[in-house]
């Protein structure tokens, strides 16, 4: 099956610093990738949709200048949390859209998530 990885799996940083999270589709090409955020005991909230080679589309209420998304290739998207603050501490999950052999539709495959803690 399709595999999506994220790096790092967890990160602790000081307030005011920037953190970059990578999302890779390991065995398929993903034209579209998605970034979600999940606070404790809450559901996943879509932050932005990223298409390879173009600007990301952000959901309402998500600051595009704070959460920088780059999707430079069909297998890699990055999310940079700039000037992180404690309220940005969360579980960040990416997903990549791809097709499986023998199926005529695309599926969304999720990464394992990155736990960000801002001190």
| Binding of residue 113 to another protein (CB under 8 A) | yes
Question: How many residues sit in the footprint of another protein (CB under 8 A)?
Answer: 28
Work out the burial of residue 68: count CB atoms within 10 Å of its CB; fewer than 13 is exposed, 13-18 middle, 19 or more buried: middle
Site string for another protein, 59-98 (x = CB under 8 A): --------------------------------x-x-x-x-
| Binding of residue 4 to another protein (CB under 8 A) | yes
Q: Which is nearer to another protein, 36 or 67 (CB)?
A: 36
What are the two backbone dihedrals, phi and then psi, of residue 81, each rounded to the nearest 5 degrees? -90, 110
């Amino acid at each position: 099956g399709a595999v999506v990885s994220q790096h790092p799996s967890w990160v602790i940083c000081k307030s005011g610093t920037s953190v970059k999270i990578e999302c890779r589709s390991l065995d398929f090409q993903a034209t579209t990738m998605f970034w979600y955020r999940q606070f404790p005991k809450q559901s996943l909230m879509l932050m932005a949709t990223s298409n390879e080679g173009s600007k990301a589309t952000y959901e309402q209420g998500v600051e595009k200048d704070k959460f920088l998304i780059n999707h430079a290739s069909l297998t890699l998207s990055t999310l940079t949390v700039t000037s992180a603050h404690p309220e940005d501490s969360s579980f960040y999950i990416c997903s990549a859209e791809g097709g499986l052999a023998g199926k005529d539709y695309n599926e969304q495959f999720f990464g394992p998530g990155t736990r960000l803690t801002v001190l």
